[in-house]
Amino acid sequence: MGKKGKMELAKQFGRILNVDMSSGRCSFSPYPEAALEYIGGRGFNIWYLYHNLLSGTDPLAPENVLLLSCGLLTGSSAPASARLHLNGLSPLTGILGSSNIGGYAGAWLRSCDIASIIVTGKSEKPVCLYIDGNGARLEDGSHLWGCDAFETQDKIKQSHKNNRLKILTIGPAGENSVRFASIMTERDHAAGRTGMGAIMGSKNLKAIVIAKGNHKYFSAVKSSQKEAVKTYLSEIRKSVEFEFFSKHGGAGYVEWVNGFGIMGSRNYSRIGVDHIEKIDARQLEKNIVHSSGCFRCPVQCKADLKLNGKEGDKLFTRPEFEPVINLGPKCGLDDLNQIIKLDNLCGRLGMDSTSAATVMAFAMDLFEREILAGDLAEDLDLSWGNAETMETLLYQMVENKGLGKILRLGVREAAVLIGNGASKYAAHVKGLEMTAYHPTAIMGTALGYAVSSRGGDYNNVYASLEYSWTENEAIDEFGTKEAVNIKSIVAKGKVIKKAVTTNIMVDSLGLCKVPVLSLLRSFNLEKETDLINGLTGMNLSKEDLFEIGEKIASLEKLFNIRHAKEDITDGLPEMFISKESEHGLTRKNFNIMLAEYYNEMGWDEEGVPPQLEII
């Protein structure tokens, strides 16, 4: 692409909004032509951070940067094009903080001709960033400090007399530097993982308020563009799981994961539960008051619920797959109504439910093993499944009190402070608490946990092809049907390379992983390539996309190597490593998978990528 073509494409991408919290200045700059090589969203963010964030930066200091970036297709006519990607140096892990959020905020940013927000510095007092089609400004937010994430949105809409505003906000967890604080929009969309809410709070930025503008971005006007959108939409709607996912959301698969034998329970000390019917979220269909979803998404997998009993007319949002398992089986809780209430409380407080649940499960595990000192437990009943204690701990973490004062730091640091062998039961990779799947039961996912650039997280790698692809597809792509045998280590390095690079590109395109990877199983990005070219007029191949994905993966790894203060080995906690000599997730078998992954990525045997020629 020539310089003139790059300039035109950069102009189409939109502007960069630069927010200097220290001076209160908001300014706009053109989209950098050099960043076009990284597509947008997650790719743009790591390009910017690699160039601009100095080694040794304190994640909660003004010098840290918070980026919120639209993907290539975010806010366009493309189906499911709602996603906004967030990055910064994580207060929880000390390496790349990375999270992703849906709803309408990303699309509304694009309607204001904004591709990315770059937030630096720290305000002297709490403020809100207000954005519309005419520009951006900081407004006083002191009256909102202390409000939960839901109250904040309601009050902002009331004060601006505009119910159509889209608002990204922190709750008390972000204000008070809980290391895994989230950023919320609406009631059930969260940028949950790695503590992006704590960065926002450290900058005294309570909320980002977006009024819809009039800018059109890659809008389907020509017949060829309309046909590209129509074709992709049709593919989603005719997928086998479309109706089920629309009706039940991700939580509808809780029974499946238990039956498949890969669910972690009781702090991963067990696999699965006996009475899954108690928390089978499909039973919530009768409680649905209203279904909803993200911008231009046909799936509409969100739902508002009314619960039976004393809650009366109070509305709750339906939890997703991960919160049901993490707040449920992982903590030994089998009361679905209590799981729903705890998940909604996490949303109100602005706290990642996965990390919060994992640190609570960790505390319960230590309590049962008599490792947790009595003065730390105080008078809390930390027996498995005690919902009252779990609620108390959530508030303690926000208020920096009691046992919560330690747990709010994340399971890695909490284990060090507790001592007495507690680290043996701390389920994390690189400081990030692990998600629902039990790594000893599914080999590719075990490797994915280990190599994920943000730490122990399934959704960052989303290797569902490991069990959703057919044996014939596996043979065609990887040369062996064992690639889709979850108990086999064969070809798992190749599988996870495919998953990592595909996920990076989906995050850089601004699409949702539910339709792309769960419904379409589109790990070759062929349909997405046709959509991009048909809608934007670009001439990309799927090979181009994967080449870019590999480049972004390498840049994220180099960023982590530069900034790491703790051990960031691509490994798993010893609690998951089998002591048998040959079978299961042994050290030898894990190392075989890891070596294959490094080789496929073109990295050296220590997992270090070659230094890239970074533009």
Render pLDDT for 327-369 as a digit per residue (tens, 0 to 9). 999 999 999 999 999 999 999 999 999 999 999 999 999 999 9
Instruction: Tally the domains of the chain.
Output: 3
If phi > 0 it is left, if psi is from -120 to 50 it is alpha, else beta; for residue 351 that is beta
Domain boundary among 380, 402, 426: 426
- In this structure, what DSSP letter does residue 266 have? T
Residue 571 burial (CB count, 10 A): 18
Domain boundary among 426, 447, 468: 426
Name the nearest CA neighbour of 137 among 86, 208, 226.
208
For the entire predicted model, the pTM comes to 0.97
Examine the domain organization and report whether 92 and 8 are in the same domain.
yes
Residues 6+ apart with CB under 8 A from 580: 586
Residue 179's SS3 state is: coil
Question: Is 224 domain-assigned?
Answer: no
Question: What pLDDT shows up at residue 11?
Answer: 80
Examine the domain organization and report whether 187 and 301 are in the same domain.
no
Question: Is 592 domain-assigned?
Answer: yes
pLDDT exceeds 90 at position 614: no
Query: For all residues of the chain together, what is the average pLDDT?
Result: 96
Residue 286's SS3 state is: helix
pLDDT exceeds 80 at position 399: yes
Question: Is 84 domain-assigned?
Answer: yes
Nearest-10 crossing angle of helices 526-536, 223-237: 150
Render pLDDT for 468-500 as a digit per residue (tens, 0 to 9). 999 999 999 999 999 999 999 999 999 999 999
Do the beta carbons of residue 179 and residue 80 sit within 8 Å? no
pLDDT exceeds 60 at position 531: yes
Q: Which pairs count as long-range contacts for 255-263, CB under 8 Å and 24+ apart, including other chains?
A: 255/280, 255/282, 257/321, 257/325, 257/436, 257/437, 258/329, 260/467, 261/441, 262/437, 262/438, 262/441, 262/442, 262/445, 262/486, 263/325, 263/329, 263/436, 263/437, 263/438
Render pLDDT for 68-100 as a digit per residue (tens, 0 to 9). 999 999 999 999 999 999 999 999 999 999 999
Question: What pLDDT shows up at residue 31?
Answer: 96
Examine the domain organization and report whether 107 and 150 are in the same domain.
yes
Question: What pLDDT shows up at residue 566?
Answer: 87
Residue 555 CA from chain centroid, whole number = 19
Examine the domain organization and report whether 403 and 336 are in the same domain.
yes
Question: What pLDDT shows up at residue 580?
Answer: 76
Examine the domain organization and report whether 297 and 444 are in the same domain.
no
- Burial label for 240, CB within 10 Å (0-12, 13-18, 19+), is exposed
pLDDT exceeds 70 at position 4: no
Residues spanned by the domain of 264: 250-426
Name the nearest CA neighbour of 43 among 567, 510, 606, 594.
510
Question: Is 610 domain-assigned?
Answer: no
Nearest-10 crossing angle of helices 353-368, 336-349: 120
Question: What pLDDT shows up at residue 485?
Answer: 98
Question: Is 220 domain-assigned?
Answer: no
Examine the domain organization and report whether 188 and 282 are in the same domain.
no
- Partners of 30 in beta bridges: 15
Question: Is 69 domain-assigned?
Answer: yes
CA atoms of 49 and 54, how far apart (whole Å): 9
Lowest-pLDDT range of 148-157, 264-273, 573-582:
573-582
If phi > 0 it is left, if psi is from -120 to 50 it is alpha, else beta; for residue 222 that is beta
CATH of the domain at 262: 1.10.569.10
Q: What value, to the nearest 5°, has the Cα angle with vertex 592 and ends 590 and 593? A: 65
Question: Is 609 domain-assigned?
Answer: no
CA atoms of 280 and 251, how far apart (whole Å): 8
Question: What pLDDT shows up at residue 406?
Answer: 98
Question: What pLDDT shows up at residue 408?
Answer: 98
CA atoms of 285 and 5, how far apart (whole Å): 50
pLDDT exceeds 90 at position 579: no
Residues 6+ apart with CB under 8 A from 158: none
Render pLDDT for 169-185 as a digit per residue (tens, 0 to 9). 999 999 999 999 999 99
CA atoms of 251 and 320, how far apart (whole Å): 5
CATH of the domain at 588: 1.10.599.10
Question: pLDDT category, 230, cuts 50, 70, 90?
Answer: very high
Do the beta carbons of residue 333 and residue 382 sit within 8 Å? no
Examine the domain organization and report whether 192 and 256 are in the same domain.
no
CATH of the domain at 45: 3.60.9.10
Question: Is 218 domain-assigned?
Answer: no
Examine the domain organization and report whether 331 and 199 are in the same domain.
no
Question: What pLDDT shows up at residue 1?
Answer: 46
Examine the domain organization and report whether 417 and 437 are in the same domain.
no
Question: What pLDDT shows up at residue 2?
Answer: 52
Tokens read off for 37: 């090589």
Question: What pLDDT shows up at residue 8?
Answer: 67
Examine the domain organization and report whether 454 and 472 are in the same domain.
yes
Average pLDDT for 249-277:
97
* % pLDDT > 90, the chain: 94
Domain boundary among 158, 190, 210: 210
What does 52-100 look like in DSSP terms, one character per residue?
A: HPPTT--TTSTTS-EEEEE-TTTTSSSTT---EEEEEE-TTTSSEEEEE
* % pLDDT > 70, the chain: 98
Average pLDDT for 514-523:
97
φ and ψ of 555, to 5 deg: -70, -40
Render pLDDT for 25-41 as a digit per residue (tens, 0 to 9). 999 999 999 999 999 99
Question: What pLDDT shows up at residue 374?
Answer: 82
pLDDT exceeds 60 at position 3: no
Residue with tokens 């502007």: 15
CA atoms of 152 and 518, how far apart (whole Å): 33
Examine the domain organization and report whether 325 and 348 are in the same domain.
yes
Examine the domain organization and report whether 403 and 440 are in the same domain.
no
